[in-house]
Amino acid sequence: MEAVRNYMYKSAVNFVTYNDDPAKNSTTESVSVQHGIMQYSVLVTALLKKDSITNRTNSEREIRTIIGNTRVLTADLSAALQNLIEYIKSADDKSIKITTYSLIGGCLFIFFIYVIACYVIVKDISHDKLAIYRAIASLPKYVVSHVADSFKVLKKEGSDHSKSNSTTHDDELNKQEENMLKIFSTSSESDGGATSDSITIVVCMLFLALCNLCSVIILGLFLIRCGEELNLSAPQIDYMMAAYSYDFASLLVVNMLACEFDGYPVYGYTAKSLIPIVNEWQDKGIINYKAVRYGNSSMNTEAFSILTAEELAGVAPEGCVYGQTPAVTHDVYRCWNPDLLTTYVQTEVKSMVFKYQNEGIAFYTNDTRLTHLWHVHIIHLYEMYYNDLF
């Protein structure tokens, strides 16, 4: 994160401020990316306050300064985003590693705790049962005889009761005798009973231990999966912004070409130097757009998970009414999904550039295609699609 802060706030960008008069030397100062972006806002505000646009407006300091520093600022912004992505990946890998070790350690800890607890419980119960059995087995014979005689007396007294409940009472006395006999007989088999009880306790403890281990494992795997998803989605921060920015920047350069053909050139730029920039930024826009939409194995990224199945399937957005004849061209744009809109913009831009390069057919600022492309980018692509992603 320190590298990201340095890119954003350290005065390391060589920001060039141009003068209205091209003959005068420009000034260069080291500023931060944040300061450069603020300068952009000031320059755009000054540009909007102009009373009129002349054939020298594009060569004055506002336009020249904005265009001249675009690559410098975007390079640092891209580097800052790349460092941020690397930080997220590094932190996520560290988190996954810690979670994995914690998962293994937690499972071992739970296992040993339950083994120790099981051993202590079995040992204590066996000791208590053995003490009880020994106490019963050590009773004198006269005590046992007295208990048996007491049962006989109770049985004899019970015979005086009515016949209706005598059977029930006899059964109760017989059960009491049986219970006493079981106690005395069990005392001689304490080892077998202790073994049976120990097995029962061990089985129960193993079941509880397995339940706890399963819970810990499921939670750990869930955290690891979340980390992996974050690792895959982190680069989308850069790809989403780059996909729109590069494509829109190529459209701005096309407008600069139209201005030059109309006699409103930007000082220092010619049609020959602008066309490679259009092609370069369009290619970068396509690469990043595909990475966001469909993933890219060479870039080790998957499709952005927030995209719905309907969007990926190409379902038209809301506001599109099928079966209704479009009143204007913009009604058609409303029914196109982002793939079609992006393809349309790319095709139109390449068509205009290709015709100029190969046939010498220029295009001008009053060309309705430029107006439509601007509207498609600002309204249909940004407002209705990218804005929700950002």
Tens digits of residue pLDDT in 334-357: 778 778 888 888 899 999 999 998
Q: What pLDDT score does 48 carry?
A: 86
Instruction: Determine if residue 261 is left, alpha or beta; phi over 0 gives left, psi from -120 to 50 gives alpha, anything else beta.
Output: alpha
Q: What pLDDT score does 352 carry?
A: 92
Which residues partner with 14 through β-bridges?
30
Domain for residue 289, yes or no?
yes
Q: State yes or no: pLDDT of 374 exceeds 80.
A: yes
Among 229, 261, 279, the domain boundary falls at: 229
Domain span at residue 144 reads 99-229
Residue 194 shares a structural domain with residue 240: no
The most confident of 13-27, 105-119, 314-328, by mean pLDDT = 105-119
CB 310 within 8 A of CB 318: no
Q: How many CB atoms lie within 10 A of CB 13?
A: 20
Residue 23 shares a structural domain with residue 127: no
CB 286 within 8 A of CB 324: no
Average pLDDT over residues 101-130: 80
Among 229, 258, 286, the domain boundary falls at: 229
Q: State yes or no: pLDDT of 329 exceeds 80.
A: no
> Which amino acid belongs to residue 84?
L
Residue 220 shares a structural domain with residue 270: no
Residue 203 shares a structural domain with residue 291: no
Residue 205 shares a structural domain with residue 242: no
Residue 292 shares a structural domain with residue 345: yes
Instruction: Report the distance separating Cα 358 and Cα 350, nearest Å.
Output: 12
Torsion of Cα atoms, 79 then 85 then 91 then 92, to 10°: -160
Instruction: Report the distance separating Cα 187 and Cα 137, nearest Å.
Output: 6
CB 243 within 8 A of CB 285: yes
Question: What are the pLDDT digits (tens) for 287-297?
Answer: 888 887 777 77
Average pLDDT over residues 17-37: 80
Among 203, 229, 255, the domain boundary falls at: 229
CB 206 within 8 A of CB 121: no
Least Cα distance to 19 among 74, 56, 52 occurs for: 56
Question: What are the pLDDT digits (tens) for 313-322?
Answer: 444 556 676 6
Residue 271 shares a structural domain with residue 197: no
| The residue to which tokens 């998803």 are assigned | 229
Residue 276 shares a structural domain with residue 342: yes
Domain for residue 74, yes or no?
no
Residue 44 shares a structural domain with residue 109: no
Cα–Cα separations (whole angstroms), residue 372 to 53, 197, 242, 332, 366 = 22, 84, 22, 11, 11
Cα–Cα separations (whole angstroms), residue 283 to 78, 246, 250, 252, 288 = 16, 8, 10, 15, 9
Cβ contacts of residue 148 below 8 Å, gap of 6+?
A: 177
Residue 373 shares a structural domain with residue 278: yes
Domain for residue 332, yes or no?
yes
Residue 119 shares a structural domain with residue 32: no
Instruction: Report the distance separating Cα 315 and Cα 338, nearest Å.
Output: 10
Domain for residue 89, yes or no?
no
Domain for residue 371, yes or no?
yes
Helix, strand or coil for residue 357?
Answer: helix
Which residues partner with 85 through β-bridges?
none
Residue 115 shares a structural domain with residue 62: no
Helix H or strand E encompassing 31: strand 27-31
Q: What pLDDT score does 370 carry?
A: 92
Q: What pLDDT score does 164 carry?
A: 47
Average pLDDT over residues 218-228: 82
- Per the structure, how many domains does the chain have? 3
The most confident of 45-59, 190-204, 251-265, by mean pLDDT = 251-265
Domain for residue 252, yes or no?
yes
Domain for residue 82, yes or no?
no
Q: Is the pTM of this model over 0.75?
A: no
Cα–Cα separations (whole angstroms), residue 18 to 63, 73, 228, 265 = 9, 16, 47, 16
Domain for residue 86, yes or no?
no
Instruction: Give the residue with greater pLDDT, 286 vs 84.
Output: 286
